Amino acid sequence: MDEKKVEKKVMLSGIQPSGDLHLGNYLGAIKNWVERTDEFDNFYFMADMHTITVRQTPADLRRRTLEQLALYIASGLDPEKNTLFIQSHVHQHAELGWVLQCYTMFGELSRMTQFKDKSSKHQDNINAGLFAYPSLMAADILLYQPDLIPVGEDQKQHCELTRDVAQRFNHFYGDVFKIPEPYIPKTGARVMCLTTPETKMSKSIPEGCVFMMEKPEDIQRKFKRAVTDSDTENCVRFDPVNKPGVANLMSIYSAVTGKTFEQIEQEFSGLGYGAFKPQVGEAVVEMLRPIREEATRIMKDKGYLESVYRAGAEKASYVAEKTLRKVYKKVGFVAR
């Protein structure tokens, strides 16, 4: 058994607690993490250090960080089988982040599309952290020598930069970092906004975003108001090009129920959107209900939550320190 454990590939991922977790986070990431629990040696973290590139209300950031951890656990991420930790509790992230900034080129960082996007949205706060945070992201990854990084479409650029920086460092100092491969799950819903289905579901458009801790009646209201399409067909049919709103609702319903698009089309044949939208809402409400209730219970048990994030940080620090010590030696720092 122990030998098999050693052979497991290492997987790592994190989500910023810059907003409340939503349906897109769950169906696109967390649900897949749970399914991979026994397949990989997993490290999942709350990326709180990344959130402060944009101004945060401190009390809200603390609440969201702990709520995110509670939701990870309530969703089925067993802390005994997955290493769950808060990024800022593992000081090696910041330390390696600085070293890797010195091996990341200005031109590489200036080409990052997310920097351009966030700069345009926060023109009064274009800070150095916002510019250089891909180096910290590279440190987040490379500290744990992972084999695989789960990536969505919007993270491919960061994954490539991480690989480039690791290869550059290895070129100077030998085989220090494992070069991670991007891992694109076979299944994983790409959840779009309910009000503007051409864009991904995001906390920045709250009316089109379903939050995991939201009240059932508010979730239902959002689905009843969800955009379908402008034609008069009123037909539940999967056509992402001409009917993006309906296709998004079908994708969500499929991810929640396990039904194929053909089965969904048959189920709502002749019924129209008036029957379809509330049914999607009801399916989402019932899927999220036990998760929300369990997360609420966990949030009240402060001692348990603290024991989880302390144990997670201890394990993560142990693994991260081995990498950091090797890096410090290679660049010529005197041993502590």
Positions marked active-site? 118, 200, 203
Measured distance CA(207)–CA(271) in Å, rounded? 25
Q: Residue 330 is which amino acid? A: K
Q: Where are the beta strands (DSSP E) in the chain?
A: 10-15, 41-46, 82-86, 148-150, 181-183
Give 300: exposed, middle or buried? Use CB within 10 Å, 0-12, 13-18, 19+. exposed
Residue 311 burial (CB count, 10 A): 15
Measured distance CA(68)–CA(251) in Å, rounded? 24
Residues near 101 by beta carbon (within 8 Å), at least 6 away in sequence: 132, 135
Phi, psi (rounded to 5 degrees) for 283: -65, -40
Whether the Cβ atoms of residue 71 and residue 21 lie closer than 8 Å to each other: yes
The candidate with the shortest Cα–Cα distance to 135, out of 172, 114, 156, 108, is 108
Classify the C-alpha dihedral 154-156-160-162 as positive or negative: positive
Whether the Cβ atoms of residue 147 and residue 112 lie closer than 8 Å to each other: no
Measured distance CA(184)–CA(149) in Å, rounded? 8
